[in-house]
Amino acid sequence: MIFGNLIDGERIMSGSRTPNINPSDTADIVGEAVRADRAQTNAAIAAAKTAFSNWSRSAPQVRYDLLKKSLDEILARKISATERAAVWLQLSRKAVAA
């Protein structure tokens, strides 16, 4: 399984990769993680700053509603950690835009 990066809503699957090793069994390689280059890292930092700014200005009830909706979605679908991050980001963007 390849674990890509999600940068400002865009999934990045290309680039060099590093093994994703199970910490409880270091002989178990569970997949590969895409390594971000400098430009991708800078883009991710900029996107995170913007997202934090928007998130921090949102009302507590909006944050709660987003987190609850995200949790419900995760539990209903039992999706991977990478997909959970994407769902949370999409939900937070929709709420901030509303």
Give the closest residue to 82 by CA, choosing from 29, 14, 46, 32.
32
**What is the pTM for the complete model shown?**
0.60
Query: What are the extents of the domains in the chain?
Result: 1-57, 58-98
- Residue 98 has a pLDDT of 62
Residue by residue, pLDDT tens for the chain (98 residues) are 899 999 998 999 988 999 999 888 899 998 999 999 999 999 999 999 999 988 899 999 999 999 999 888 878 776 676 777 777 777 777 766 76
